Amino acid sequence: MKKTFLDYVLRVRLPITLFVALTSFTLTYFASRAERDGVGYTPDQPINFSHKLHAGDMKIDCQYCHTGVEKSRVAMVPPLETCMNCHRIARKDKPDIIKLTKYYNEGIALPWKRIHKVPDFVYFNHSVHVNKGIDCVNCHGDVKQMEKIGQMNSFTMSACLDCHRNALTRFPDLKNINQGPDNCFACHR
Ligand code: HEC
Ligand code: HEC
Ligand code: HEC
Ligand code: HEC
Ligand code: HEC
């Protein structure tokens, strides 16, 4: 009696349980994938700031606003002071600029929505990449053409590793570039 029950559990119940667990894991894994990767995420921002206009047409350097890229881990989104360098004068009668000026005068930072983000347990550093000559385009896409900015590339572990392992063939023109690290402690410190 006991033996046949165990037999039933092993032959019928266990495979079914495993099958259900595996299927639901696989389904949620792939269904939530885009969300975790963030690819395509292009939120509305409190002000319609256009990269195409400022970085593309007007050719303002990325570094003029993202002052951290060569110096630190983070690129940094510019404070309103940077915008006001021009918008104290430029287009100050437009609704978006009136709103901008109001935030500035009240000393409140604009609540820009963050787009690109790796989890806290991952160490990423802009300066080590940018100072080796890797252009923003490689990771963020053609920002100069973006009216509204969104995430173009995946920042998963395999995406990081794919570039790290193929860096020498991917950037034949960059002198002094090494292959990126693939040991766990480089990115998980
Ligand atoms: C005039 C200032 C300015 C210039 C020039 C500029 N940016 Fe930005 N950038 C911003 C502001 C403000 C935001 C936040 C608002 C937004 O996301 O649209 C931003 C957001 C971003 C983001 C998304 C940040 C996030 O939350 O993940 C990226 C990536 C970016 N910029 C890359 C670039 C690149 C590449 C260039 C040069 C081709 C550039 N920017 C030039 C002001 C600027
Ligand atoms: C180097 C000068 C300069 C800087 C810095 C700058 N802008 Fe501009 N911006 C302009 C000019 C000039 C225009 C108008 C361009 C045109 O319409 O041809 C403009 C247009 C705009 C517009 C469109 C206004 C409208 O409705 O016509 C917005 C919104 C804007 N800027 C937001 C920002 C924000 C936010 C920042 C800071 C992150 C910023 N700008 C930084 C020069 C600048
Ligand atoms: C090797 C890939 C790579 C390159 C090259 C790169 N970025 Fe990034 N960028 C990232 C990653 C990954 C994040 C998310 C970082 C995080 O969550 O800490 C990010 C986030 C950002 C952000 C928002 C968060 C922050 O760090 O302030 C801005 C703005 C940005 N990048 C701008 C730029 C600009 C401008 C350049 C070129 C000068 C550039 N990036 C080059 C990968 C890259
Ligand atoms: C477009 C290619 C590219 C992408 C994408 C990229 N990296 Fe790198 N990374 C490199 C290269 C090349 C190096 C080595 C630079 C050198 O030493 O010459 C490097 C170096 C590093 C280093 C070593 C820094 C140090 O202090 O020595 C870390 C950490 C790192 N990357 C993390 C990441 C993470 C995390 C991601 C994904 C979110 C990422 N990288 C995506 C190309 C890339
Ligand atoms: C080049 C950078 C890089 C290296 C090297 C790296 N990782 Fe990661 N790892 C990441 C990034 C980015 C994420 C977060 C994005 C994701 O989940 O893919 C991550 C996520 C993870 C996660 C969480 C998975 C999840 O689904 O949330 C684990 C576990 C992990 N890494 C283990 C490792 C181990 C073990 C190694 C060494 C064999 C390693 N990593 C090497 C960048 C790296």
Report which ligand 1 atom has the smallest distance to the Cα of 144.
38
CB-based contacts of 91: which residues, under 8 Å, 6+ apart? 97
CB of 110 within 8 A of CB of 99? no
Residues with CB under 6 A from ligand 4: 118, 122-125, 128-129, 132, 134, 138-139, 155, 160, 163-164, 167, 177-178, 180-181, 186-187
- Residue 123: pLDDT over 80: yes
* CA-nearest residue, atom 13 of ligand 1: 77
Rounded distance from Cα 72 to ligand 2 centre (Å): 26
Encoded tokens for 52: 């195409």
- Residue 141: pLDDT over 90: yes
What value does the mean pLDDT take over residues 116-135? 96
Q: What is the pLDDT of residue 73?
A: 93
Query: Pick from 170, 143, 147, 168: which is nearest to 62 by CA?
Result: 143
What is the spatial distance between Cα 26 and Cα 18, in angstroms, rounded to a whole number? 12
pLDDT tens digits for 26-60? 666 665 555 556 899 999 999 999 999 999 999 99
**What percentage of the chain has pLDDT greater than the value 90?**
79
CB of 116 within 8 A of CB of 41? no
